Amino acid sequence: MRGKRLPTAPLETALGVASDEKGPAADAEENEMKAAVQKAIETLPEQQRMVTTLFYINEYSHKEIADFLEIPPKTVDNRLRAARKRLKARMITMVQSTFHKNAPSGNEDFVAKVQEMIRTRVTFIMHEDNNDAVFVCDGKSAFRVSGEIASPLIKFLQDFPNHLALV
């Protein structure tokens, strides 16, 4: 091997090579999720929290938990089932809250893009007074908008009479 040089390449060529490592954003997201799950587990009643921790975190079997706590295995099953139900409800609420806080409709750029799309693509709308519904058509398809979104949409669309026919 003496005298024979190994091939080399400039460091810039490595910039395009994907890493198998998780990035800082993925690590932060994983840590955030772990903290949220731990916090949710802490809200469980003590008996459910105990069997949940022993089963999911310490990886004991149902029988081992039952022997350790001196309760029937069926009680372990019931407590785990109740804990999963509570955790599921809590996590769903957490996800819904997160989605609501980060809804795209709260982003002004998103709202502007949707408004521009409506201005350029919508050909007519039909308004029903009885239930505040709007049927919006673009020549190819139609969809119904109702509830709290319908009134501001009608007002917005009425600002563009040259582009739309309000029926």
Task: Enumerate domains of the chain plus CATH numbers.
Answer: 24-102 (1.10.10.10), 107-166 (no CATH)
How does pLDDT run across 17-65, given as a tens digit for each residue?
Answer: 666 777 788 888 888 888 888 888 999 999 999 999 999 889 999 999 9
Higher-pLDDT residue of 89, 132: 89
SS3 content of the chain, % helix, strand, coil (to 5): 60, 10, 30
- The model carries a pTM of 0.49
Report the C-alpha gap between 166 and 129 in whole angstroms.
13
Instruction: Indicate if the pLDDT at residue 3 is higher than 90.
Output: no
Q: How many CB atoms lie within 10 A of CB 83?
A: 23
3-state secondary structure of 157: helix
Higher-pLDDT residue of 92, 134: 92
- The answer to whether the beta carbons of residues 136 and 125 sit under 8 Å apart is yes
DSSP per-residue codes, 88-141: HHHHHHHHHHHHHHT-GGG-HHHHHHHHHHHHHH--EEEEETTTTEEEEE-SS-
